[in-house]
Homo-oligomer: A and B are copies of this chain.
Amino acid sequence: MSVPQEVAYEGGRGVKIRVITPSTMREKVARSIEQYSAAARSDTQLSADVLDKGPESVDSVYDEAMAAADTVKKIEAAEQEGIQAVISNCMLDPGVLPAREKVFMPVLGPAESSMHVAAMLADRFSVVTILDALIPAFENHALKLGLFDQLASVRAVSMRGADLDDQERLQKAIEELAAKAVEEDGAHIIVLGCTAMRGLAMDVEEGLRKRGITGVPVIDPALLSLKLAEAFVDMGLSHSKLTYPEPPQQEIIGF
């Protein structure tokens, strides 16, 4: 098992939170530390890890199935190290539900966190994501959370590869769809549909304002997961073991 490569803050009594990106690309360790540090409290000890086995990125339910097992193993390892909360750094929330059966600390999924908070702050939310192929996955996620009636729409920018690195172009594309979600689909709040849409929430909100769409919050699901993780650790709160019961012990080959 790989050792997480960076620890951002080393404060005294701080909350120890691990971000696990379900990807085999090791450069994502540093990138996720950088991303989450933007919103971490000064007393939060942030660390990060990626997968040894699985896809480069999770772009489908198929990829999510390929990433889930090692994500779960990384979450188990984190708890054994003394980590107090884990975030699965992908909007399909890979491994979150199965890991909750094995561990006792909070395991946060960006989609679950942001959809519930969106439903607190508005009657209907839309998700703006990267790929069309993920639209059914988000619809089913809202259904499982009991929030399908509050989901106005899922829209995808349909961009890939190098295009995604062009932050300005990505932001414009998100803005365009967020505006359509409000004007055509009845959305009252926007959830960014990919944890890699880093740092764009405020800019998209500002962009909507310039188009005359004011008062529509934009949620960054990665950062929201971090804030909830900090709050849950503060409160000693975690998932129910009746919903996520301890699995029976048995040998598992290959993991």
Enumerate chain A interface residues (CB-CB to B < 8 A): 24, 39, 41, 51-57, 59-66, 68-70, 72, 95, 97-99, 101-102, 106, 112-113, 116-117, 119-124, 131-133, 136, 139-140, 143-150, 160, 182, 188-189, 202, 214-217, 219-220, 223-224, 227-228, 230-231, 234-248, 250-255
Contact = CB atoms under 8 A, between A and B. Distances in A.
Chain B CB count within 10 A is highest, among A219, A230, A237, for: A237
Chain B CB count within 10 A is highest, among A97, A148, A223, for: A97
Contact of A245 (B133, B140, B254): B133
A164 to B, nearest CB: 13
A117 B119 contact: no
Chain B CB count within 10 A is highest, among A61, A228, A255, for: A61
Contacts of A112: 120
Given A61-B97, A121-B243, 14 more contacts: A41-B41, A41-B234, A59-B250, A63-B252, A65-B69, A69-B69, A70-B254, A119-B146, A136-B244, A146-B146, A189-B243, A215-B242, A217-B239, A217-B240
B68 A253 contact: no
A104 B236 CA distance: 30
B239 A121 contact: yes
A255 B116 CA distance: 34
Given A131-B248, A147-B146, A246-B133, A122 B254 contact: no
B227 A231 contact: yes
A241 B241 CA distance: 36
A55 B252 contact: yes
Given A54-B254, A231-B230, A253-B54, A62 B240 contact: no
10 contacts: A61-B101, A65-B72, A65-B97, A123-B240, A144-B144, A160-B248, A188-B242, A215-B242, A217-B237, A224-B231
A59 B248 contact: yes
Given A230-B231, A242-B215, A253-B53, A61 B146 contact: no
Contacts of A147: 146
Contact of A247 (B62, B113, B252): B62
A223 B167 CA distance: 38
A52 B145 contact: no
A250 B188 CA distance: 26
A252 B53 CA distance: 7
B60 A247 contact: yes
